[in-house]
């Protein structure tokens, strides 16, 4: 069924019955639809199909059988058996066939008439539905539907826009970052930790003064933030800068909101980093071969221009994200509905895919994307809820403005991605199809068009963009867990016991 917002007399509470008039054509049904709220974005649907067309279809099917050479009734030659006997012998198979035809026609009619706007297939088992001997055909199911809300005025918004002119120093810093992948990791002299260095450490993690985990010989890049698989150290860089081998630095790690152990979500654990050695990246020589293979340029000067383009593209990405956030904050007051948890869990993967795709299109490196993805994964459910509400608001804008995505739009976007990545359009399309990203691409393009329409009618106040403050700095990653599952369960039990003891008798 089409994913479109319905224009019906449906409300957010109670039960609504909608009569669908019979229309011309043999497959149109006279049916009524009863809708009832059964949870956030969830409807119970009861469909009652008038008996008249069902009887017509049954009569047609039995007539076809009687006139054919197929029926085999004991004691009668083909084509000579009484109709009553044929109806009795073939009743079950004919009823099943007619039921399937009527059910499919009814569901298609629901979609065509936009009675409901589904988010997923209905919870419906056709095998459990039977065609009655007489009376109307009734079937029921539950389905997730798009939230219903009214859009506030989204035209002529006043927005703030980050702007920035990149300095030569910023271009040099970004160029070094882009070249790191092709450089060589070497011991640092003097061995004093700075941002972008790599350190090897033993790590001891504690919670409430009790040691819960030990990691040996861990190598990690020093960035502003450090993301583990279950938590984030937001001030990692500031705590580690200036350290030397033998030094111990204490860092707080905030556990993620999606931690399996509910009682520890958002809690802080303490990590002691004992520095073993410090290394840095020796920049590679800018040979013609490296420049051509890595960046598609032929001279160091061309590389500088390439880096400037990357930075400008990243600024454009930031401007759009900033504008998107402001737009959704201003018009998202209508987005005060609840979203079902099972829907959120299904959407986590798609949301992450779309965010990664947006970052790739902005020119971020795989290492930068990896760090930001880890941060997104820490609060996956919360981020997904926010992204879904944005999605519904922009989808409704697109519907009101009659914005659509054509195949040519997708082709142009794939060519644009191919141009930025240095791949062929065919290869980009094949990769996106393999990763199941084509639907995400189409959705993103539709929302971009809706956002562009809003932004085109907005007025702007420019302000100076601080890249580090706006993006939160770079993020390094570790695959290790701060708090393994067994320790997490033990810690949760201890916390629960401690709280119980603190309660007054």
Return the DSSP state at 27.
T
pLDDT at 445: 92
The predicted pLDDT at position 368 comes to: 63
Q: What is the token pair recorded at 134? A: 């007489």
The answer to whether 52 touches 72, Cβ cutoff 8 Å, is no
> Using an 8 Å Cβ cutoff, are 40 and 340 in contact?
yes
**Numbered ranges of CATH 3.10.50.30 in the chain:** 184-282+475-502
Q: What are the residue ranges of CATH 1.10.3120 in the chain?
A: 158-163+299-471
CA gap 362, 357 in Å, rounded: 9
345 Rama sector, left if φ>0, alpha if ψ -120 to 50, beta otherwise:
alpha
pLDDT at 20: 45
Closest CA to 463 of 158, 161, 159, 166: 161
402 three-class SS:
coil
* Structural fold of domain 15-144: Alpha-Beta Plaits (3.30.70)
Q: What is the pLDDT of residue 48?
A: 93
Residues with Cβ within 8 Å of residue 165, at least 6 apart in sequence: none
Report the predicted TM-score, pTM, of the whole model to 2 decimal places. Answer: 0.60
| pLDDT for 87 | 76
Chain centroid offset of residue 219 CA: 31
Chain centroid offset of residue 341 CA:
14
Secondary-structure class of domain 158-163+299-471 per CATH: mainly alpha
**What topology does CATH give the domain 184-282+475-502?**
Chitinase A; domain 3 (3.10.50)
Render each residue's pLDDT in the chain as its tens digit; 505 residues.
434 333 333 333 444 444 444 444 445 788 999 999 888 888 899 999 999 888 888 888 888 777 766 555 665 656 666 777 777 878 888 889 999 999 999 988 888 886 777 877 888 888 889 999 889 999 999 988 888 888 888 999 999 999 999 999 999 999 998 998 899 999 999 999 999 999 999 999 998 888 888 999 999 999 999 988 888 898 999 999 999 999 999 999 988 776 667 777 788 999 999 999 999 999 999 999 999 998 889 999 999 999 999 999 889 988 988 998 898 888 777 677 777 777 777 776 666 676 776 666 666 666 667 666 666 666 666 667 777 888 888 889 999 999 999 999 999 999 988 887 778 899 989 988 888 888 888 988 999 999 999 999 999 999 998 866 544 457 888 878 887 765 666 666 565 555 555 555 4
Neighbours of 300 (CB within 10 A): 10
Which residues are 271's β-sheet partners? 205, 251
- In the numeric block, which tokens belong to residue 318? 């930031």
Cα–chain-centroid distance for residue 127?
33
Residue ranges in 180-299 assigned as alpha helix (H): 236-240, 288-290
pLDDT at 15: 46
């Amino acid at each position: 069924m089409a994913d479109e917002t319905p224009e019906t007399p449906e409300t957010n509470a109670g039960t609504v019955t909608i009569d669908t008039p019979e229309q011309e054509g043999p497959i149109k049904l006279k049916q009524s639809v009863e809708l009832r709220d059964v949870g956030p974005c969830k409807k119970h649907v009861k469909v009652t199909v008038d008996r008249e067309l069902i009887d017509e279809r049954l009569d047609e099917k039995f007539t076809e059988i009687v006139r054919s050479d197929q029926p085999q009734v004991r004691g009668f030659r083909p084509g000579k058996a009484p109709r009553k006997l044929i109806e009795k012998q073939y009743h079950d198979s004919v009823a099943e066939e007619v039921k399937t035809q009527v059910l499919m026609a009814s569901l298609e009619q629901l979609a065509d008439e936009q009675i409901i706007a589904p988010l997923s297939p209905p919870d419906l088992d056709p095998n459990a539905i039977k065609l009655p001997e007489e009376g109307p055909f009734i079937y029921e199911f539950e389905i997730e539907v798009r939230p219903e809300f009214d859009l506030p005025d989204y035209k002529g918004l006043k927005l703030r826009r980050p702007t920035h002119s990149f300095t030569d120093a910023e271009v040099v810093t970004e160029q070094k970052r882009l070249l790191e992948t092709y450089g060589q990791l070497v011991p640092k002299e003097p061995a004093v930790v700075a941002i972008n260095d790599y350190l090897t450490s033993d790590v001891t993690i504690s919670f409430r003064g009790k040691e819960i985990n030990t990691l040996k010989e861990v190598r990690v890049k020093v960035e502003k933030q450090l993301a583990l698989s279950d938590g984030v150290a937001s001030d990692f860089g500031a705590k580690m800068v200036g350290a030397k081998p033998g030094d111990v630095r204490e860092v707080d790690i905030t556990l993620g909101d999606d931690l399996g152990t509910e009682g520890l979500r958002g809690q802080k654990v303490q990590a002691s980093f004992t520095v073993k050695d410090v290394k840095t990246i020796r920049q590679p020589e800018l040979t013609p071969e490296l420049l051509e293979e890595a960046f598609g340029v032929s001279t160091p000067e061309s590389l500088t221009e390439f880096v400037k383009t990357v930075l400008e593209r990243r600024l454009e990405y930031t401007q759009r994200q900033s504008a998107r956030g402001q737009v959704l904050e201003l018009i998202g007051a209508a987005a005060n509905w609840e979203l079902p948890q099972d829907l959120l869990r299904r959407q986590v993967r798609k949301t992450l895919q779309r965010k990664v795709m947006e970052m790739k299109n902005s020119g971020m490196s795989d290492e930068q994307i990896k760090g930001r993805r880890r941060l997104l994964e820490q609060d996956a459910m919360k981020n997904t809820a926010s992204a879904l509400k944005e999605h519904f608001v922009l989808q409704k804008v697109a519907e009101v403005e009659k914005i659509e995505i054509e195949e040519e739009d997708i082709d142009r976007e794939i060519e644009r991605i191919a141009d930025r990545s240095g791949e062929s359009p065919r290869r980009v399309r094949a990769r996106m199809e393999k990763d199941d990203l084509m639907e995400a691409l189409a959705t993103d393009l539709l929302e971009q068009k809706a956002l562009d329409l809003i932004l085109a009618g907005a007025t702007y106040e420019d302000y100076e963009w601080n890249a580090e403050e706006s993006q939160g700095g770079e993020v390094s990653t570790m695959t290790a867990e701060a708090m393994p599952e067994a320790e997490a369960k033990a810690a949760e039990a201890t916390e629960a016991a401690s709280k119980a003891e603190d309660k007054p008798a």
